[in-house]
Structures are given as C-alpha cells and as structure tokens.
Amino acid sequence: MPVSRLSYAVAATALAAAALAPALPAAAAPAPACPGLSGGANADLVRLATGLRIASTAAQMSAAQTSATARALDGPLAAVVQAPPTNSGKRLGSPAIDAGAARVGTGDLRAQATWPTGYRCGTPGPAATSSVALAEAAVLPGGSGTGTLRLAGSPSSGADVSLSTRDGHLASSATARVGLADLRLFDGSGSPVRVKVLSQPQLSAVAGGTVARSAVRYTAPVYEVTGPAGTTRRLDAAGQRIDIPLPASVLRLSIGTVTRHVTATAVTAEAATLRVQLFAGGTAAPSLDLGVGVLQVSANAPVEVPVPVTARPPATLPLTGVDTGWLVGIGLLTAIGGRLLLLLSRRRTRSY
C-alpha cells in the first residue's frame, strides 16, 4: 500500500475520533470583584441642643477603607485611625477638661481599624471599633460636685462596624452603645433628682441584601427615677415620660422612640435613650434640652450578594469519571480503520 494511502486512512480515523470526543470545558471566568459593603455607627454619651457632644465615638466602613474616632469632648484631642494600613490602632489618655457648658474627668480613648487581606472577600470579623470611658461627666457644672446633670460611675460610649454572613450571604453590621450607671440632676440643690440605670441601651443595624436578612435591633433602657420627695417611678417603655415639679420649673424625663428605615439594601436607625428637658416659668419651649445616649447606625449591602466561591465549599462534586459513550465510538472507528488497512494490505500482496 502506498504510504500516502496509509497516511490518509490513519488521519481519517483520527479526525473521526476527535469529532466524537467531548469538548474540553472552557476556562472558568474570573470571579467577580468582591462586593463593597458599608456601614457606620455613632454614639454620644450626651448631646446638647447646641451641638456639644460628650464621649463621642464613631466607626465607619466603606468599600475602600475603615476608620474609627473617639473623643472625650468636642475638640482637637481625639483618637483617630484609618485602615489601610492593616490593624491600625490608637489609645489615648485624656486629661480632665472644663469647657464651661460641660466638664469631663480623665478618660480612656480607644480606636481600632482593620483591613486584613481578603477582608472584602467574605472573611467575617470586626472592621472598626471605638470607645470612650470617662471618670465622670457634667453638664452646666457647679462647685463641689453640684450642677444641672452629673454622670458618675465611669460613663462610656462605643461604636462598632463589622462584616458577617447571614444565610450564606455577606452582610454589614453596625452597633452603637452607651454605658450608664448613675445620673444626678440638680445635685446639691433642695430638689435633687436621681436616675438609676437598670438596663443599658444598645442599637444595631444589619443589611444582608434582602429585607428578610436585614434588621434593626434595639435594647431599650430601663430607668428608675427618684424625685425630690423620695418617690420612685420607672421608665421602661419607648415614648414614656415623667414630669417632676421643681421650684419655678418642671423637669421632664422621657425615653425616646427608635426611628428606623429598612430596605433590602439599606438600614438606618436612630434613638435618644433619655431626653432631659427643663421648662421654666410655664414656657412651652425648654430652657434646657439634651439627649443622653444618642445612638445612630447605618448598614448597606448590595442585593443578593453570595459569599464568594473561595470562601465556601463547592455546591456539587467535581466530575471525576469519563464519558464511556465517546470511548465506544472511538473503538468502533479504530476497528473500521484496522479492517480498511487489512484489505489494502491484501491488495498490495496480490499486486506482487
């Protein structure tokens, strides 16, 4: 048989086998960029209507960075950090500060911001946190521990943002809180009022890409109020208030309600855990208006964001066997090719 005929036969068999062989899977498309989730939390131990803040903390998370801030009193002295760089932290000891309208004792200011490798790709954990702890704080302070409002017992505030998973999906979380022990109003006067804190307030927001995975959680405070006459009453429900008669004025204490907004992609909430108002001379407008434990949180997440494949096991087992159908086809073609070669070789023998 001429070499050319033999080559053609072998080539035809090979081409037919290749036609029956299954196509190799295409190279996997690159994984989508890690989704950007964001969130923020702010907590003020005290916030005056004038805008002055005591023990103010904030934590923020975006698609590009995290940050945290802690201040004992509005001013330049603060613990401020930002990440990247990874695991950036700061701790400051603040001195006692007298700003006239407010006074704070020595404080411990802490701020921490993290950005670990792969953080945006589904690794749960804290993103940023800040806290302030004070020896004491006072609003419109007087001498010898007297004043309009005094917070004793190491009052504090804190804010946190983090990344978590909910039902296999990425979620952003934000939490704001304050720590209160004992509030004293008009201490040292003939009409002191004491507020004992029985339950600490905390506000959290979670955004998970759907309404079902998004929520606002609020731990309402419980206060025990003792008036000048020694009568004790309890504040334990949102919107509840107590009016306490004082000489030539009325002191109003009320628990604020939670303002919330929840959608599939964004969650926001705000609460003033205790509002203190003083109405002098029967006027409708308060001469003093301040919030104790003012909390704000926000969280955002894109719709239906699954945890990236690299962060969880495959959903199905990989294909490890071989399709026998195309192997049978190749075998048949090989047999046909062999028969063809045999016939051609016999013709060659007869030609001699």
Answer yes or no: is pLDDT of 148 > 80.
Answer: yes
Average pLDDT, the chain: 80
Question: What is the predicted pLDDT for the residue at 256?
Answer: 87
Taking each continuous run of H as one helix and of E as one strand, the counts in the chain are 2, 24
Answer yes or no: is pLDDT of 315 > 70.
Answer: no
What residue spans define the domains of the chain?
Answer: 38-309
Tens digit of pLDDT for each residue in 98-133?
998 999 999 999 999 998 765 555 567 788 999 999
Express as a percent the part of the chain with pLDDT over 90.
54
- Count of other CB atoms within 10 angstroms of residue 135: 14
Tens digit of pLDDT for each residue in 10-67?
444 444 444 444 444 444 444 344 566 899 999 999 999 888 999 999 999 998 889 9
Q: How far apart are the first and last CA of the chain?
A: 11
Tokens of 343: 């016939």
Question: What is the predicted pLDDT for the residue at 271?
Answer: 95
Answer yes or no: is pLDDT of 224 > 70.
Answer: yes
Tens digit of pLDDT for each residue in 73-83?
988 899 999 99
- Beta-carbon contacts of residue 340 (< 8 Å; ≥ 6 apart): 9
Please, what is the angle between helix 324-351 and helix 3-20, to 10°? 170
**Of the ranges 172-181, 187-196, 322-331, which one carries the lowest mean pLDDT score?**
322-331
More confident residue, 181 or 94: 94
Answer yes or no: is pLDDT of 298 > 80.
Answer: yes
Question: What is the predicted pLDDT for the residue at 17?
Answer: 44
Question: What is the predicted pLDDT for the residue at 303?
Answer: 81
Express as a percent the part of the chain with pLDDT over 70.
72
**pLDDT band at residue 338 using 50, 70 and 90 as cut-offs:** low
**Of the ranges 200-204, 235-239, 266-270, which one carries the lowest mean pLDDT score?**
235-239
More confident residue, 158 or 324: 158
Question: What is the predicted pLDDT for the residue at 118?
Answer: 58
Query: b/e per residue, 328-352, with b = 16+ CB within 10 A?
Result: eebeebeeebeebbeeeeeeeeeee
